[in-house]
């Protein structure tokens, strides 16, 4: 459920008509609904809290790192899952306490590890033995202790798009399941580290709960083996990954189904269970408004050329992802069209041969379910601006990220002396 609905024939975000935002800010522009964000944060949290005695929620910042979004989620009791110093600094800037931050990521640099130790980050999810050894040395030299979990690769197929699957043996993430106990034992003996648990994350946009269940059961077995050998395992981080519907009417397992599966798979664990949800919180909380530049005749179907492009919303180009497209002022008519952006490559295509609300040049439309992995993956390809972001709250709204104009990017570039003249 979200708060993007038709009201008097105009698509609104909560109480604000989207054409008003488009007129004032320009297009393309991302719009987030605060009420939807809050609702999703609560539904996910409450579903898990109802069945598990000890949980810690760390919002996956990568899905939507906007400062205002982080502030909304902090107020709902979420910590943060970060994967870079930049994300860590955003989470801290939003007021999320360092102790509630989990630092994940396969390639944390020395500089990042050092900054995170200084900041007092709550948990490092180590992705390798090598990383653990390096972090131990950094922390010990500073006279500190880094609290850690070991990310394990359970070799389970999440049955999602290959590019967002992370739990198979061939994927770069975590340590091999069969070596995990030995590595945990070695890292537990290092000065500077305090090993407190295990972490797993098998992929994103997961729509079948069975692979996650299998992974969690395997993690439970490893937890018991480590405890039997005398090691502390008080925290189990089960990652993110729960998928969201991208098409109207699509029925997928929701937070309640997920919570029931987790409760069953983790029965008797006696541990704090941690989660790193991203998409399930932010996905349906955002739309991307775009204006139709022109409708061009095609051989099989007309091309609706919109002013948003793959640099603004990369998911269709990268993962063949589907985003519903609807008109801001639908007429009741429909058309079959290809929706494309202005960028000079064929991957800049949002939909082919799709039945959509009829639109013409100058009309506004939105791509739905664009709140996760939307603005955060935007870039300036073709020297286009970096897309702005707006948050709506009831009848009020604010620009929460300004458009960054190509001139600003250009101003950071230099012609060296030896090319001048």
Query: Between the CA of residue 133 and those of 34, 101, 356, what are the distances in Å?
Result: 42, 21, 55
Is 330 annotated as ligand-binding?
no
Comparing CB distances to ligand LLP, the nearer of 22 and 102 is 102
SS3 assignment, position 179: helix
Which of residues 12, 34, 39, 279 is near ligand LLP by CB under 6 A? 279
User: How far apart (Å, rounded) are the C-alpha atoms in residues 116 and 98?
Assistant: 9
Comparing CB distances to ligand LLP, the nearer of 183 and 327 is 183
**Residue 389: which residues within 8 A CB-CB, separation 6 or more?**
29, 30, 31, 32, 66, 375, 399, 400, 401
Residues taking part in catalysis: 344
**Residue 338 lies near ligand LLP (rule: CB under 6 A):** no
**Residue 231 lies near ligand LLP (rule: CB under 6 A):** no
Which of residues 132, 174, 241, 255 is near ligand LLP by CB under 6 A? 241
**Residue 212 lies near ligand LLP (rule: CB under 6 A):** no
**Residue 63 lies near ligand LLP (rule: CB under 6 A):** yes
Comparing CB distances to ligand LLP, the nearer of 22 and 41 is 41
**Residue 348 lies near ligand LLP (rule: CB under 6 A):** no
Would strands 79-82 and 101-103 be described as parallel, antiparallel, or unpaired? parallel
**Residue 357: which residues within 8 A CB-CB, separation 6 or more?**
325, 326, 327, 330, 331, 333, 334, 335, 365
Is 277 annotated as ligand-binding?
yes
Minimal distance, residue 315 CB to ligand LLP, in Å: 5
Question: Do the Cβ atoms of 74 and 96 come closer than 8 Å?
Answer: yes
DSSP character string of 43-105 = HHHHHHHTT-SSEEEEEEGGG---HHHHHHHHHTT-EEEESSHHHHHHHHHTT--GGGEEE--
Is 414 annotated as ligand-binding?
no
Is 241 annotated as ligand-binding?
yes
User: How far apart (Å, rounded) are the C-alpha atoms in residues 250 and 179?
Assistant: 40
**Residue 315 lies near ligand LLP (rule: CB under 6 A):** yes
Which of residues 66, 104, 128, 165 is near ligand LLP by CB under 6 A? 104
Comparing CB distances to ligand LLP, the nearer of 192 and 240 is 240
What are the residues binding ligand LLP (CB under 6 A)?
60, 63, 81, 104, 164, 166, 201, 204-205, 239-241, 276-280, 315, 319, 372-373
Binding residues for substrate: 279, 315, 319, 345, 373
């Amino acid at each position: 459920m979200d708060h993007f609905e038709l009201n008097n024939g105009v698509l609104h975000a909560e109480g604000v008509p989207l054409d008003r935002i488009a007129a004032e800010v320009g297009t393309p522009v991302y719009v987030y609904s605060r009420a939807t964000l809050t609702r999703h944060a609560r539904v996910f949290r409450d579903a898990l809290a109802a069945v598990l005695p000890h949980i810690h929620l760390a919002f996956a910042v990568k899905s939507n790192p906007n400062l205002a979004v982080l502030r909304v989620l902090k107020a709902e009791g979420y910590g943060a899952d970060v994967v870079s110093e930049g994300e860590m600094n955003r989470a801290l800037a939003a007021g999320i306490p360092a102790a509630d931050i989990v630092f994940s990521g396969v390639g944390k640099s020395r500089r990042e590890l050092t900054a995170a130790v200084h900041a007092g980050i709550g948990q490092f999810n180590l992705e390798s033995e090598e990383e653990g050894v390096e972090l131990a040395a950094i922390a010990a030299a500073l006279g500190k202790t880094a609290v850690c979990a070991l990310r394990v690769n359970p070799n389970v197929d999440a049955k999602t798009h290959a590019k967002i699957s992370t739990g198979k043996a061939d994927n770069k993430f975590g340590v091999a399941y069969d070596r995990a106990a030995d590595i945990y034992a070695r890292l537990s003996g290092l000065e500077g580290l305090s090993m407190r648990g295990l972490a797993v994350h098998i992929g994103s946009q997961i729509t079948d709960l069975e692979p996650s269940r299998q992974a969690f059961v395997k993690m439970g077995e490893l937890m018991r083996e480590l405890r039997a050998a005398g090691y502390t395992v008080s925290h189990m981080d089960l990652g993110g990954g729960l998928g969201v519907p991208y098409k109207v009417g699509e029925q997928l397992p929701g937070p309640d189904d997920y919570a029931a599966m987790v409760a069953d798979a983790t029965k008797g664990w006696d541990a704090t269970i941690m989660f790193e949800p991203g998409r399930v919180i932010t996905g349906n909380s955002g739309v991307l408004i775009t204006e139709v530049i022109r409708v061009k005749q095609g051989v099989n179907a007309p091309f609706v050329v919109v002013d948003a492009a793959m640099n603004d919303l990369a998911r269709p180009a990268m993962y063949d992802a589907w985003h519903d497209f609807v008109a801001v002022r639908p007429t009741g008519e429909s058309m079959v069209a290809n929706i494309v952006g202005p960028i000079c490559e064929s991957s800049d295509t949002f939909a082919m041969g799709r039945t959509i609300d009829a639109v013409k040049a100058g009309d506004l439309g939105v791509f739905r379910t664009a709140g996760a992995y939307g603005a955060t993956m935007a870039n300036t390809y073709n020297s286009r601006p970096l897309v702005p972001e707006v948050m709506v709250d009831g009848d009020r709204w604010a620009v929460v990220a300004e458009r960054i104009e190509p001139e600003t990017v250009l101003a950071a570039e230099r012609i060296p002396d030896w090319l001048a003249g």
